[in-house]
Structure 1
Amino acid sequence: MRKISHQKHNKETFYFSMSRMLERVSFYGLRALIVLYMTGEILRMDSNESTGIYSWFIGSILISQVVGALLGDLLIGNKKAIYIGGVIQAIGALSLCIPSIIGLYLGLFLIVVGGGLYTPNIISNFGKSYLNKPKLLDAGFTLFYLVVNFGSMLGLALIPLVVGQWGYQIGFALTGILMLLSLVPIRYTNKYDVKDFQRSISPIGRRILNIVIALLAVGLFWGTFEISNIRIYQIQIHLSEIPTLNITNLWWQTINSMSVTVFALIAIVLWTYVYNCQLFKLAIGFILGSIAFAILLLIPEVPTQQHAIIYLISLLLLSASEIHIAPIIHSILTKYSNPKYLATFISLAFLPTKLFAILFGMFNHKFVDQSILGLKIGMGVMIGIGFGLIVYLIYTRRINSSEE
């Protein structure tokens, strides 16, 4: 652990964060409306058809991000890709105002294309703004993660309220306007020349290995949540039904969101002034997660009021775990990959997470009646990865010492 000196965040951090937050308000607000809009009075789709379209919509975004990243890295530049993607996404949102099937498909298609250009390229340029001050990468991406979460929650809360008051057309129009507004702060950011960046001094084999380890670790982290969340949600439901506690299911979710925010703010401040390597942070995150799962195993099948504090402690530990893992993957990619292809690496980082989530999700039905088993498996995976990372760090430090 080393003190950070002569490095600080700049105005570009604010501009990128503001842009991303407004885009997330737009996207998540729109996403909250899609299925309701398709099954509502205008289009009158059945639930199976609407769910299928929604699934294709979400799945297509992952593919479009890879294409958009390649275009940004190799052809049009990352900053132009952000502008073009934002405009296309805004046109897509406005197309949804057309009350027809054509408007629906056109709007969803344009949102997928625009989001594919916008997302990996803004993350890439945000990372590049820190390449000459790499010790602040963790703090910077944690701030970025925080504004993404805040924008998502704001979109889910705000846009449906607007629709309830003024209808779907106004709601979709608002998401399009917010998307256009998200491009204004990008005007004040720089266009980056990769020749100006400090390169990592680590051997290329070590850099590739660090990236692969981080991708697999983060993917497994979210994968374990797929099977462990069943038990977590069951406990939450039981506790919300205890009248003497007077804590609803919504309140538990709010507490979880608030704890993520608090730990993110603490991490941002701490990691702005004190540096430790990213893989060590990942190891700490997995160890905290395994402790949280172990605590959850202390709660019986049907929890009582006395178990609420145990559940709360586990939520706090899981939030701390999330902050040590989720933002760090982009920090690692930015530090160890070639800046010229950073958006492409970032777009590919979404794939292991999605694949592990799908893979673990395939077994969810087996853990509905055996939810504690899912929790145990999740704890085992967390412990294995956490201590595996520590062993790898010890090994690499010995190698570095022998080379010196």
Structure 2
Amino acid sequence: MEKIQNPKHPTQITHYSLSRLLERASYYGLRSLVILYMVGETLHMEDDEAFSIYGWFTGSLIFSQIIGAFMGDLLIGNRKAILLGGILQAIGAFCLSLPSLFGLYVGLFLVVLGSGFFTPNIISNFGKLYLNNSKLLDSGYTIFYLAVNLGSFLGVLFMGYLNEKVSYRSGFIIAGIMMLLSLTPILISKEKTIHQLVKSNSSIVKRILNILIAFFAIGLFWGVYESSGIRIFNLQFQFKEISSFYLSEYLWESMNSVFIFPISLIAIVVWTYVYSHPFFKLMLGFIFGIIALGILFLIPEIPTEQHVITYLVSLFFLGVSEIHIAPVIYSILTKYTNPKYLAIMVSLAFIPTRLFHIIFSVFNDKFYENPLLPLKIGIFAMTCVLIGIISYLLFTKKPSR
């Protein structure tokens, strides 16, 4: 580790972070309403049909992101792709407010397409702000990641309130307005041009290896995270019933986000002033992840109220693990990818995450029968990755910074 001399984040960081916060608040708020809207009194869908459409909605995002990334990097530019994506999502949200199947399908299609244009391109443009000061990349992307989590948390909370107090339609309209507002910071910010950027000094082989390791690490992490979520959800449900502490159902469900906020703030401050190699952070992330799953493993299948603290400690370590992995992956991609194709590489990073999700979902029936099984598999898988990262750090004589 080394101290960073005169650390200074780009002035445009506020613009991009605010834009991402508003866009995520709109997007996740909209997502939280869609299922309820489909099975509600307006469309009267069966649960199976509604979940099938929702599955198509979420599953299509990976393809739309690849399309949006290629358009942004190769044809229209990242900034125009961001603006187009925001407009498409806003129109989609307004279409969803029309009480009809036509409005539903057109609205979901436009939201998926718009998110595909918006997400990889704004991540790419944000990272380009830091390429002349790559030691602040980890801290910068953590600020960005905090904006994403805060936006999704507030969006779901706000849209849930609107749904309960007003109507679905008002929620979709507000989501569309928020999406348009998210474009304002982008319009007043300046786009980073390629000739201003500094390229990595690493060899092409090492850059490719770093990117492949990042792809595998993030895919496996989210795969383990989602499979262990079965156990977390099971404990969450039981603790809601037996705990003497009154917490709303939404707060129980969002407990991980509650930990993410302070952990992110601490990481932002520390990583702004103290630099360590991103693969060292990945190593710590998998160590904390193993600890989190190990603590969960210690809680019996039928817990008592005394195990609530143990459960919360596990979620805390899981949050620390997430912050050491999720935003850092984007730092690695930004540092070792040709800036001209950064949005494309960001979009491709969603593929291993999806693949690991599919692999782990094959065993969901067994995981529900034995909630401790995904914890065992997760600990084993994360330990293997941890050993691989440690070996890589040891055999790399001069890690590229």
- Superposed displacement of residue 42, structure 1: 2.0
Aligned twin of 1:89 = 89
In 1, the alpha carbon distance for the partners of 2:23 and 2:374 equals: 35
Letter of the 1:22 counterpart: L
Aligned twin of 1:335 = 335
**Are residue 37 (structure 1) and residue 37 (structure 2) matched?**
yes
Distance 1:248 1:57, change over 3 A: closer
TM-score, normalization by structure 1: 0.95
In 1, the alpha carbon distance for the partners of 2:254 and 2:61 equals: 28
Aligned twin of 1:21 = 21
In 2, the alpha carbon distance for the partners of 1:111 and 1:255 equals: 27
In 1, the alpha carbon distance for the partners of 2:250 and 2:198 equals: 46
Aligned twin of 1:228 = 228
User: After TM superposition, which residue ranges in structure 1, 4 or more long, deviate above 3 angstroms?
Assistant: 243-255
In 1, the alpha carbon distance for the partners of 2:237 and 2:225 equals: 17
- 2:298 is paired with a residue of what secondary structure? coil
Aligned twin of 1:46 = 46
Q: Does the Cα contact within 8 Å between 1:92 and 1:109 map onto a contact in 2?
A: yes
In 1, the alpha carbon distance for the partners of 2:323 and 2:150 equals: 14
The range that moved more, 238-247 or 154-163, is: 238-247
Q: Does the Cα contact within 8 Å between 1:239 and 1:247 map onto a contact in 2?
A: no
Aligned twin of 2:200 = 200
**Are residue 319 (structure 1) and residue 319 (structure 2) matched?**
yes
Aligned twin of 2:141 = 141
Letter of the 2:79 counterpart: K
Q: Does the Cα contact within 8 Å between 2:243 and 2:308 map onto a contact in 1?
A: no
Per-residue Cα deviation, 1:289-339 (whole angstroms, up to 9, x for no partner)? 111222222222222233222222211111101110111111110000010
- Superposed displacement of residue 364, structure 1: 1.3
Per-residue Cα deviation, 1:141-200 (whole angstroms, up to 9, x for no partner)? 111111101100111111232233332222211111111100000022222221221111
Per-residue Cα deviation, 1:200-235 (whole angstroms, up to 9, x for no partner)? 111110010001001101110111123322223323
Q: Is there any run of 5+ residues in structure 2 with no aligned partner, and where?
A: none
**Are residue 257 (structure 1) and residue 261 (structure 2) matched?**
no
Q: Does the Cα contact within 8 Å between 2:37 and 2:168 map onto a contact in 1?
A: yes
In 2, the alpha carbon distance for the partners of 1:247 and 1:92 equals: 34
- Superposed displacement of residue 249, structure 1: 5.5
Kindly report which structure 2 residues correspond to 1:305-316, keeping only aligned pairs within 5 A, or say none: 305-316=305-316
Q: Is there any run of 5+ residues in structure 1 with no aligned partner, and where?
A: none
Identity %: 53
Q: Does the Cα contact within 8 Å between 1:86 and 1:179 map onto a contact in 2?
A: yes
Aligned twin of 2:274 = 274
Aligned twin of 1:111 = 111
Q: Does the Cα contact within 8 Å between 1:237 and 1:249 map onto a contact in 2?
A: no
Q: Does the Cα contact within 8 Å between 2:72 and 2:343 map onto a contact in 1?
A: yes
Aligned twin of 1:174 = 174
**Are residue 238 (structure 1) and residue 220 (structure 2) matched?**
no
In 2, the alpha carbon distance for the partners of 1:306 and 1:160 equals: 31
Question: How many aligned positions are there?
Answer: 400
Letter of the 1:390 counterpart: I
Letter of the 2:262 counterpart: V
- Superposed displacement of residue 243, structure 1: 4.7
The range that moved more, 148-157 or 361-370, is: 361-370
In 2, the alpha carbon distance for the partners of 1:247 and 1:139 equals: 32
Aligned twin of 1:12 = 12
Q: Does the Cα contact within 8 Å between 1:43 and 1:101 map onto a contact in 2?
A: yes
Distance 1:243 1:148, change over 3 A: closer
Letter of the 2:29 counterpart: G
Per-residue Cα deviation, 1:45-100 (whole angstroms, up to 9, x for no partner)? 22222211111111112101100100000010000111111111111111122222
Letter of the 1:48 counterpart: D
In 2, the alpha carbon distance for the partners of 1:352 and 1:59 equals: 13
- Superposed displacement of residue 255, structure 1: 3.6
TM-score, normalization by structure 2: 0.95
Aligned twin of 2:165 = 165
In 2, the alpha carbon distance for the partners of 1:4 and 1:42 equals: 57
Q: Does the Cα contact within 8 Å between 2:142 and 2:267 map onto a contact in 1?
A: yes
Aligned twin of 2:130 = 130
Letter of the 2:124 counterpart: S
In 1, the alpha carbon distance for the partners of 2:2 and 2:243 equals: 49
**Are residue 383 (structure 1) and residue 395 (structure 2) matched?**
no
- 2:12 is paired with a residue of what secondary structure? helix
Q: Does the Cα contact within 8 Å between 2:393 and 2:399 map onto a contact in 1?
A: no
In 2, the alpha carbon distance for the partners of 1:35 and 1:369 equals: 26
The range that moved more, 206-215 or 30-39, is: 30-39
In 2, the alpha carbon distance for the partners of 1:247 and 1:81 equals: 41
Letter of the 2:304 counterpart: T
- 1:201 is paired with a residue of what secondary structure? coil
In 2, the alpha carbon distance for the partners of 1:302 and 1:99 equals: 44
Q: Does the Cα contact within 8 Å between 1:226 and 1:364 map onto a contact in 2?
A: no
The range that moved more, 366-375 or 80-89, is: 366-375
- Superposed displacement of residue 247, structure 1: 5.6
The range that moved more, 174-183 or 300-309, is: 300-309
In 1, the alpha carbon distance for the partners of 2:43 and 2:142 equals: 40
In angstroms, what is the RMSD of aligned CA positions?
1.7
- Superposed displacement of residue 252, structure 1: 3.7
